[in-house]
Each structure stands twice: as C-alpha cells, then as structure tokens.
Structure 1
Amino acid sequence: MTDTTAATDTLVIACPTDGALNRVPGARLSAAPKCGVCKSPLFAGKPVELTAVSFDRHARSSDLPLLVDFWAAWCGPCQAMAPAFARAAAQLEPTIRLGKLDTEAHQAIAARYNIRSIPTMILFHKGREIARTSGAMPAEAIVQWATANAPAR
C-alpha cells in the first residue's frame, strides 16, 4: 500500500504502548515517529495486544485503519495464523495498524461485534467496520485482503 497522504495532512495515531494519541504529519509516517508521552516507537511492525481500554482508542480515535484478529488461546487455527498475522503487520505498517483481541478475555467486545467463529478479522476505520473475513490465512492473503479493503487516503 502506498502512502499518498499529503505532506500537510496530520494524522492522529494511538501509541501501541500506552495508548496516548499523537499527531503525526502524514509525510513522517515512514520516518519512525515516537510517542510524545512514552517515547516508544509508534510503529513496531508487530500486532498490538488490544484490551477493553485500548480497543476503542485504536479503533475509534486513531486515523489509521485497524485490522483486528479476534482469537482465543484454545483455537488451533488461531494459533496457526498468529505468525502470519505478525508478518502481515510488518508489511502493512505504517498504513494499517494490526491488533489482536483475545475473545475469551474480552467477551463484551467480541459480543459487540457478533464474533461467532474464530479466527475472524475485522477491518475498522474511525470506529466503523469496513470489512470482515473468517478463517485462517497466510500472511500474503492477509496483506492482500487488508490492502484491497482499506480506505484510500
């Protein structure tokens, strides 16, 4: 996915470490920006472990599309897809944030999005569900699916 954000556009990016909201010029997304609060990198090339607190911050408050893997520890296909999802994160950042949500630990969020089978991936943008797919995928298919469904910038 190419970054076509104009140099004057500023995006709000949630920090994967502390959830702080950071304003980053679109032209600097690829320049390894750091959180203004905790100084951690805003992009680590790996999925963010989402919680009840951080889910809404990343899904609703951040300007980046968020691809969430709804999973559970007991799910064999979820475990099999985890390395592929991590590889996809390295390829999709900084244009799409990837996050993982444990459906056992955060049942209310899973219920809110009517998660009935896992793994299920949902692509969000500014709090809205854009696309959904279920079933394990290899990294290349995750990247292709996310890129095809992500909103244009």
Structure 2
Amino acid sequence: MAAMESLHVVCPHCHTTNRVKGAQLGSAPDCGHCKKPLFTGHPVALDDASFDRHVTRGDLPVLVDFWAAWCGPCRMMAPAFEAAAAQLEPRIRLAKVDTELAQQVAARLNIRSIPTLALYVGGREVARQAGALTSPSQIAAWVQRQLSLQPG
C-alpha cells in the first residue's frame, strides 16, 4: 500500500468508516465521528449488525476469531489472539465474533466448529483455519502466510 494512498478504516467503537492516509496508520489516528482511537491493540467485538460493515467497508485485511464462551479451546486461544492484535495492528484488523450472540453471521458463513479463524481481504474470505492457534506468533505467521498467497 502506498504511503499517500487513502484507506477506509472502520472505527471499532462507533463503526463509522473513516478515510486515513496509509502513512498515518501508525500514528494513532482517531475516528472523525466519535474521536476515539481507530486502533486499540485489541480485537473488535462484532455482532450480526457490525460484521459486514467491518469486513466489506474497510480496506484493511480482517482476521476474525469465531468463538463461544463455553468453548475450552476458544478460551485457550483468547490470550494469544489478544496479543496478536497488538502485534498486527494497524496493518490488519482483528475481530471476534461470539457465535452464540451472532448466530446469523455464523450460520451464513457456515461456521461448523470453533474456534475458527477466517481471514477477509477486500470483503471476501480468503482463508479459514479450524482449531486453536495458541501463540501470537502462530497466529501472525498464519496470517502472513495467507496474505502472501493473495494475488497483487
């Protein structure tokens, strides 16, 4: 991505789409609407209403952890996913979808087992990983490997 190129970044707080210059991603930009930081170093909790907005309206790749509170492997992976968010932002948005609360999204995307990681680029799912990755470096390496396989 070119440094002067404008990117659309969806706010993790109010879900407003913001235009940010590529060169400004690393300088803690704020949302033009709610004035909160666009990057927090934490995964964004998405639901049925906000999922599509983040995946389709933003220009950043989005890595989604589909999980549920009752799932032991999901709870095991949660700290690694949290730490991976701090490592991968602002180049990649990390998000979590509780499949118990966002049943429409989970059903539409055919999420059959949890935890499942899905990577979206340009609004399209490009990779999926069922099962827990238990370290931030495993998660980051998986994402980088998938992005390197993408054309362009």
Give ranges in structure 1 of 5+ residues lacking alignment. Answer: none
1:79 aligns with 2:72: no
What is the CA deviation profile of residues 97-123 of structure 1, one whole-angstrom value per residue up to 9, with x for unaligned ones? 000000011111111111111000000
- Deviation (angstroms), 1:7: 2.4
Specify which of 135, 140, 144 is matched with residue 141 of structure 2.
Answer: 144
Aligned pairs (5 A) from 1:19-98: 19-98=15-94
Residues 94/53 of structure 1: CA separation in 2 closer, same or farther (3 Å cut): same
1:102 aligns with 2:98: yes
- Deviation (angstroms), 1:149: 1.2
Aligned pairs (5 A) from 1:112-151: 112-137=108-133, 138-150=135-147, 151=150
Residues 72/45 of structure 1: CA separation in 2 closer, same or farther (3 Å cut): same
- Deviation (angstroms), 1:152: 7.4
Q: Over the residues paired in the alignment, what is the CA RMSD in angstroms?
A: 1.2
Report the residue type matching 2:75 in the other structure: Q
- Secondary structure of the 1:90 match is helix
What is the CA deviation profile of residues 25-49 of structure 1, one whole-angstrom value per residue up to 9, with x for unaligned ones? 0011001000001111000000000
How does the TM-score come out when normalised to structure 2? 0.95
What is the CA deviation profile of residues 64-115 of structure 1, one whole-angstrom value per residue up to 9, with x for unaligned ones? 1000000001000001100000000000000000000000111111111111
Tell me which stretches of 4 or more aligned residues in structure 1 moved more than 4 Å: none
Give the stretch that moved more between structures: 92-101 or 48-57.
48-57
- Secondary structure of the 2:49 match is helix
User: How many aligned residue pairs are there?
Assistant: 149
Whole-angstrom distance in 2 between the partners of 1:84 and 1:103: 19
Whole-angstrom distance in 2 between the partners of 1:44 and 1:152: 29
Whole-angstrom distance in 1 between the partners of 2:145 and 2:41: 20
- Secondary structure of the 2:54 match is helix
Whole-angstrom distance in 1 between the partners of 2:44 and 2:96: 6
Tell me if the contact between 2:48 and 2:103 (Cα under 8 Å) persists in the aligned partners.
no
